[in-house]
Structure 1
Amino acid sequence: MSTSYAVPVDAAAQRWHGRDDGPGEAHLRWHHVVAADSGGPGPWDATFVGFRSDEGVRRNKGRQGAANGPAELRAALAPMALPASLTALDAGDVEVADGDLESGHRRLGEAVAALLDSGSPVIVLGGGHEVAYGTYLGVRESAAMRSGGRLAVLNLDAHFDLRDDVRPSSGTPFLQMARSEEEHGRRLNYQVLGVSQPSNTEHLFRTADSLGVRYLPDTECGLLNVAAVDAFTDAFVDSGDVLHLSIDLDVLPAAVAPGVSAPAAHGVPMEIVERVCAKVAASGKPLVVDVAELNPDLDVDHRTARAGARLVHRILTERHAAPGPAA
């Protein structure tokens, strides 16, 4: 029996558009399978919700424009060809238009919890990296966590985002998570792949160490370090029952992802980032993914949007093909 899940959003989903080569499953692309709605019967093979927010980037003194990221990611994903038929739901967008990031986080959390409780993998399209805390609020309140599941958070990022600022921003989400977990009598299982030493002060490294954060620097994530990356990723997957994968597109080299607030001088190769995403998706565990920091105003030839969409595509097609019961 299917169950209806109401997903609270500020803006209803719009119909996806893309190339059409003909009828039948042999010609399927994402825009053919995504239903634009605010709720309905689940589970789905994929669910999407957008987070239109620049407020965290503004507070963090970054280059604004990420609020337009969700629409650009949808546009880049829509024409991608599918290897097999699946079902997908776009629930619409949560929007932070009035500077009230905290309220936006709460609304995003409600939407994520509803989608995750439907039994579907959830893709949150950001938005600045402040999106990660709103995503976490939804995971925290989901049935899987309330029943005693262990949360594991993996951040693909050049930055720890553990700043201790007066107000929440795109630089604070994982410290906010750590404090929230402490309030609930738990220690945050937080891991970072791709962290860049020049982009993080010694204070941030000390904060990470004090919180027990496992991390793999960008200098150890090259194509010659596949074994180390695989071991790091496998340990992450094994450490949790519910997985939160947060993808800050500035983890990629600037040539691949120029359209971000802080382009990476070094970065982690796209092949490595995609490999990590595929391994996490294939785990079959309850999964929530957020994609952050796409700024269309700074992009070149839609490179960053296409890179982000490619990662989402790989995650969801890998998940759909994985053996075992759906999350």
Structure 2
Amino acid sequence: MSTDGTVTSAATATVAADVAPGPWTGRDDGPGDDNLRWHHVVGLDPRDAGPGDVAFVGFRSDEGVRRNKGRQGAADGPRALRGALASMALPAPVRALDVGDIEVADGDLEGGQHRLGRVLTPLVDRGHPVVVLGGGHEVAYGTYLGLSGTRALREGARLGVLNLDAHFDLRDDVRPSSGTPFLQMAQSEERHGRRLNYWVLGVSQPSNTTRLFRTADRLGVRYLLDTECGLPDLQRVDAFIEEFLASCDVVHLSIDLDVLPAGTAPGVSAPAAYGVQMEVVEHVCAAVAASRKPAVCDVAELNPDLDADHRTARAGARLIHRVLTTRSAPAQPA
């Protein structure tokens, strides 16, 4: 490790996180690939990881939720998501790396987001599919900062941001928060002479003011309301995802767990009175992952202090599991 906190490799440097990773543990049914679970395949040393290996990064932050006047506790989300994912059984062998956590413990949200970005960029450039374990939804802007510095985007690849969320998170507040990340992205893209390619699935009308809808329309945001995402409307959902995937080369998939109904995801800052059914959200995650376009997936708003029977953690872990196992499955012939 160099004096500036980077771990060097033959390919590129990996920037160290604030908090070193700890070992993953879970149920063990014996040796062999047919007994593999996630905790068996997650390593902690970047020097042992190769291109294509999954990379996990935690983002321990409540600061954005605090600024947005939400219920705090999401800083413990990464720990709970790792715990829920660790014992999930793998359908086929994979390799994974945990690089540790970015921690926002001093109110410096902006610094934490930039540190997350600096960790993500070399991971994506090395060919790692990255999952960021949040943390409040302010994590999404840190993810964007990481992607914006990648080789692919610098060379002209088209970025598409798909947010599974009850909220637009386009608030125009004085200070960045969990309610502002996608407006921050749009403003950053505008400074670079581009328009943010931003799509949202699961928007709750009662949870978003008329001003937020007007902001979304002004920015050219494409969205489906939660009432348009039921199982009878799956054809509409599929058409929405197909059009989104056609619009981009690199995907930033952001999953705010409050998109799910409160019965499925009680442990979030703002539980959904209606929400999008788990079957639909998982179907969307699988369709996006099958495109092989996602570079980073972040999962936000899990608050273990509010979670009943670990339901929200298990739902989030299952979505991560579906994204990663679908992405690593052999491609189907056209």
- Name 2:205's counterpart in structure 1: 197
- Name 2:308's counterpart in structure 1: 300
Cα offset for 1:39? 5.5
Find out whether 1:126 has 2:134 as its counterpart. yes
Cα offset for 1:36? 1.7
**5+ residue gaps, structure 1:** none
Find out whether 1:283 has 2:291 as its counterpart. yes
Find out whether 1:271 has 2:256 as its counterpart. no
Distance 1:323 1:45 in 2: 17
- Bigger mean CA offset, 70-79 vs 7-16: 7-16
- 8 Å contact kept, 1:281–1:287: no
- Name 1:314's counterpart in structure 2: 322
After TM superposition, list the pairs within 5 Å mapping 1:146-295 onto structure 2: 146-295=154-303
SS at match of 1:240: coil
Cα offset for 1:114? 1.5
Cα distance per residue 1:69-96 (max 9 Å; x no partner): 0000000000000000011001100000
Distance 2:168 2:330 in 1: 30
Find out whether 1:16 has 2:24 as its counterpart. yes
- Name 1:140's counterpart in structure 2: 148
Distance 1:111 1:215 in 2: 30
SS at match of 1:154: strand
TM-score (normalised: structure 1): 0.97
Cα offset for 1:8? 2.5
- 8 Å contact kept, 1:160–1:195: yes
Cα distance per residue 1:113-159 (max 9 Å; x no partner): 11111101110000000000000000000111111110000000000
- 8 Å contact kept, 1:294–1:304: yes
Distance 1:20 1:93 in 2: 25
Q: Per the alignment, do residues 153 and 247 of structure 1 end up closer, same or farther by CA in structure 2, a change over 3 Å counting?
A: same
Q: Per the alignment, do residues 39 and 66 of structure 1 end up closer, same or farther by CA in structure 2, a change over 3 Å counting?
A: farther
SS at match of 1:246: strand
Q: Could you tell me which amino acid in structure 2 is paired with residue 133 of structure 1?
A: Y
TM-score (normalised: structure 2): 0.95
Query: Among residues 89, 92, 113, which one is paired with 2:100 in the alignment?
Result: 92
Distance 1:57 1:322 in 2: 39
Distance 1:132 1:3 in 2: 26
Distance 1:152 1:131 in 2: 17
- Name 2:3's counterpart in structure 1: none
SS at match of 2:142: helix
Cα offset for 1:45? 3.0
Distance 1:282 1:273 in 2: 14
Find out whether 1:26 has 2:34 as its counterpart. yes
- 8 Å contact kept, 1:197–1:217: yes
Distance 1:244 1:71 in 2: 22
Q: Could you tell me which amino acid in structure 2 is paired with residue 125 of structure 1?
A: L
Cα offset for 1:38? 5.1
Q: Could you tell me which amino acid in structure 1 is paired with residue 238 of structure 2?
A: D
SS at match of 2:216: helix
Identity of aligned residues (%): 71
- 8 Å contact kept, 1:5–1:41: no
After TM superposition, list the pairs within 5 Å mapping 1:76-87 onto structure 2: 76-87=84-95
**5+ residue gaps, structure 2:** 1-8
Cα distance per residue 1:272-325 (max 9 Å; x no partner): 00000001101012521000000000000000000000000000000000418x
Q: Per the alignment, do residues 310 and 166 of structure 1 end up closer, same or farther by CA in structure 2, a change over 3 Å counting?
A: same
Superposition CA RMSD, Å: 1.2
Cα offset for 1:7? 2.7
Task: Report how many aligned residue pairs link the two structures.
Answer: 324
Q: Per the alignment, do residues 83 and 2 of structure 1 end up closer, same or farther by CA in structure 2, a change over 3 Å counting?
A: farther
SS at match of 1:51: strand
Q: Could you tell me which amino acid in structure 2 is paired with residue 228 of structure 1?
A: R
- 8 Å contact kept, 1:36–1:91: yes
Cα distance per residue 1:240-270 (max 9 Å; x no partner): 1110000000000000000000000000000
Distance 1:7 1:109 in 2: 10
